[in-house]
Amino acid sequence: MENPYIAALGAVGAWLLVAGPLYQASMELREQGFAQRRQLPENFPQPSPVSGWWWLLPPVAYMKIRAEWQRIRREVLAMMTPGDLERIISFSNTARGWLIVAGGATLIGIKETWELVAIAEWPTFTAWVITLAALLLSFGNAALTANRTERLLSGAAGERE
């Protein structure tokens, strides 16, 4: 017979594996973003508006919006120095890596939660409630910690001035 306490430990551990990468991503990306923050040049390209009427033909609207963003991307890449491009690629790769880890951990968390609910013989909807709560706690922890860090650092910088 399966032990519900061990199953609960497995589920909690799996959700900690979600919270950890989200927290680490928020800290690393905040540091990278802060260190690499630059003023946008005055001639930074702006997207041209696409008429809302195109949404009457969703595939056409999608293609027009995508084409506009590709134009912006080409213009921005042409304006960037190799160093700026390297920093953006590094930032993007860091974000993608942490999101892949958190995504995989989320799948494990769902599996472990489902097994806990089955072993404890709880109603199926309980698995979804626990999953939603765990995701909200994981994202909330990352957001609140990043916000608190930003406030502390900006407060410390203000005291030094």
CB 50 within 8 A of CB 131: no
What is the model's pLDDT at position 104? 95
pLDDT along the chain (161 residues), means of 10: 90 95 86 65 76 85 90 84 83 88 95 96 96 95 87 76 62
What is the model's pLDDT at position 4? 92
* 3 state SS of 110: helix
Q: 26: which 2 tokens?
A: 């928020």
Cα separation, 120 vs 118, whole angstroms: 6
Cα separation, 160 vs 143, whole angstroms: 26
What is the model's pLDDT at position 39? 60
What is the model's pLDDT at position 52? 81
- Our CA dihedral for 119, 125, 128, 132, rounded to 10 degrees, sits at -120
Residue 13 CA to its chain's centroid (Å) = 20
Q: What is the DSSP string of the chain?
A: ---HHHHHHHHHHHHHHHHHHHHHHHHHHHHHHHHH--PPPTT---PPP--GGGGGSHHHHHHHHHHHHHHHHHHHHHH--HHHHHHHHHHHHHHHHHHHHHHHHHHHHHHHHHHHHHHHT--THHHHHHHHHHHHHHHHHHHHHHHHHHHHHHHHHHHH-
State pTM to two decimals.
0.71
What is the model's pLDDT at position 38? 60
